[in-house]
Structure 1
């Protein structure tokens, strides 16, 4: 298989900036030299851990591992010692790559350490021959047990990034800005490896803030990647910061992912900037499955259509495919294609259970599909599918309806047992004015008017904040019904 990053050896790219983190940057020639030197040092390793801080060294480390044909295991610097210990025991890396100044926690101290020198010089090795060779081992969030290591082959990385180039008209002329962590698919594969595969440039903010977004988009960046929490903060900041609205209006593409972006945030940003936000849908095991296309119809609340080469279907609880796409019938998303992972490391049982007999991956996500193929996700099968009064209801559409109420800042919806209905709908609300929150009756009537009476919340809890993980996803299992 050819290199994942042709720009590293292409003469026209040599002087072009590849990576910029704050005031530190590397051209393609400098990145090739630094990655080549590190690749030579780790060439004999079977896999390496990468202490994935939002730094230039993390990007160099991952590129070096991929060029050397060594599987990289990105580690979340915020992980607790128990989780880190599990990941290290499970993946058994022989080395840990880190920036020279990084202080590593106890579980990593028994590993041989290689400090990443972003200024080193060396030659790149020949790329691995097989697209099935592991590129990354990325650990799932572990919501239903210890995290599992999803083995992502080189062909999945290449396919996803090329499919997104088609969907987003992504070229070497694009300059991406983002402030996402670098231990997961969105921040690392899309946000760092994506621009490098295109021969373009990425500017990482180190930490997300609206001032950094405005500065970089004003200074020539063309694309922004973010998660809903980031776009919510942007939407809140827009009325008081005209320079942010102007900067966003210059962007070629604004992309949101990792969770559904509420429709009201779509609308606020579009009204202030004239820009629509593109949503896409993927997960660790599949990389990217669908996206709204840059040249497609803007449709807030959807994740677009399947990417080139990706097959997608919805299935009923008994596994029978949904016969018609009517925008109403809820089914579980199943996918297959070259974007999929190879296996869960050391877990043949879990790998087998994740696939149907005919090779479709069971995502656990629930969705409806419009007649023209657009997919609208309504939640996770385990936490967001509510069976109430004989209806199958997706929590996501109720959350969007609640967020349209002017008194609601944040909303999450769950189900709880009900002797009459089977499950009743429960809303968890963060009010715009905590001293005067909207009443349960007011919110129930609001949802009933917008959706249907059977989708109204029967119970409302008021909170000061919703529990969220590092990617801004609401951790619904942490919401207590006690």
Structure 2
């Protein structure tokens, strides 16, 4: 198999990684990661204490070079969940930055501190492992039980990154700016491994801040990756920050993922900067499935067409495939391609249940436009509402609510109703807590924009919506 990181083997002197004032060229990264890789040979699985640092990036690259599966650990994981992940993945050691204070759960593991200035000297980098070899084991959020370890092979990483390079015209000349966590596929695989595979650079700003985003983009950046929460804050800041608007205007590519970006924020950013944010769709088990292409006009509300090599179908509850491309027919997204994971670690039952033959059941519900562009309406378990005989997607109602002047944040769920089957409930963070919108006001607003049967029947007010580390709204927390 060709090298996962051609620029490392070529010894390029171009900047590869920058975290604050610290940076490494591709050649320096090859030396540091190669030195650590020599220590990891035959280590089995290794845990990586995934702080937003240069050491985390070097540690993951070292494990990949050594052909040793890496298990990124979220430093904010609670004791019980961390204990489960360690027992399930059984790493032989943990990689960390010097000086990192690790929790007691990791005391039993041998510790290797990553030296980002080490060098393997004239030693050649290890041979590239087979395409099916496990590269990363990333744990899911565990919303329906203990987190499951998603085993991602090397071919899933390479196929996704190469397909995105085609869709986004991503080259070695691009400099990516992002502030995403490095224990998740968005921040780690797309945000760190993506630039390294292209031979380009990534500038990580550790903690999201609109001023830092503007500074990095203006100085170096051609691309910015973020989640909807980040773009919402950008949209809120743009009217008062001409430097941010100028920096975004000069950026080649703005990408949002991990959850749907509200149409209202799309519009505000486009108006202020002349740039449109494009969306892509993926998940831990599949990496990336679809994306809006840079050579096409972005359409807010869609996540684009299937990436090269990826097949996508919509399926009825009965299991029958939906063949219509009519923007109306709703089905579960199932995907097939080289981007898929191989198994849930130690869970053959869960692995078998996740597949229908070669097709992975995503649990996401969507419609398709006539040109094949996918419109996600939400999760099958929490976002598909069956009310009055209709299948209704929570996402489109949320977008309509966010277009109301009195709504700051919105989430929509369904609750059991003796008459309708399920009634639509809107969870609202109002712009003015002293004068919140009424259920009648919001109901009429949604009915006018969408259809009368999609109006919320209840409105519940909150100070803030519960979100995870990637900015996704945790709807099960609302429903409990």
Structure 1 length-normalised TM = 0.98
Within 2, Cα distance between the matches of 1:236 and 1:19? 30
1:107 to 105, 108, 128: 105
Aligned 8 A contact 1:3 1:67 in 2: no
> What does the per-residue CA deviation read over 1:53-91, in whole Å, with 9 as the maximum and x for residues that have no partner?
000000000000000000000000000010000000000
Matched with 1:38 is: 36
Structure 1 residue 230: Cα displacement: 0.2
Q: Which residue of structure 1 lines up, in the alignment, with residue 90 of structure 2? A: 92
User: 1:464 aligns to what SS in structure 2?
Assistant: coil
Instruction: Please name the residue that 1:74 is paired with.
Output: 72
Unaligned runs of 5+ in 1: none
How far residue 437 of structure 1 moved from its aligned partner, in angstroms, is 1.1
Q: Residue in 1 aligned with 2:406? A: 407
Q: Which whole-Å deviations, capped at 9, do the CAs of 1:74-131 have from their partners, x for residues lacking one?
A: 0000000100000000000001000011000011111000000000010353233410
How far, CA to CA, are the matches of 2:316 and 2:42 in structure 1? 47
Q: CA deviation at 1:451?
A: 0.4
**Distance in 2 (alpha carbons) for counterparts of 1:127 and 1:383:** 45
What secondary structure is seen at the aligned counterpart in 2 of 1:479?
helix
Classify the secondary structure of the residue corresponding to 1:466.
coil
Which ranges of 4 or more aligned residues in structure 1 deviate by more than 3 Å? none
Q: TM-score by structure 2 length?
A: 0.99
Residue 55 of structure 2: SS of its match in structure 1?
helix
Matches within 5 A, 1:247-286: 247-286=247-286
Determine helix, strand or coil for the equivalent of 1:35. Answer: helix
Quote how far apart the aligned CAs of 1:434 are.
Answer: 1.0
Q: CA deviation at 1:298?
A: 1.2
Distance 1:127 1:422 in 2: 58
Within the alignment, does 1:381 sit opposite 2:383 as a pair?
Answer: no
Once the two structures are superposed, what CA deviation does each residue of 1:176-224 show, in whole Å capped at 9, x if it has no partner? Answer: 0000000010000000000000000000001010011100111021000
The 8 Å contact of residues 4 and 128 in structure 2, kept in 1 or not, is answered as: no
How many residue pairs get aligned? The number is 478
Residue 47 of structure 1: how far off its partner (Å):
0.9
Inter-partner Cα distance in structure 1 for 2:325 and 2:423: 27
Aligned-pair RMSD on alpha carbons? 0.8
Q: Deviations over 1:28-58 (max 9, x none)?
A: 1110000010000011211100000000000
- Deviation string 1:234-261 (CA, Å, 9 cap, x unpaired) is 0000011011000000000000000000
Paired with 2:306 and 2:192, the residues of 1 have a C-alpha distance of 23
* Per-residue CA distance 1:334-353 (angstroms, 9 max, x = gap): 00000000000011110000
Query: Deviations 1:242-299 (Å, cap 9, x if unpaired)?
Result: 1100000000000000000000000000000000001000000000000000111210
Structure 2, unaligned runs of 5 or more: none
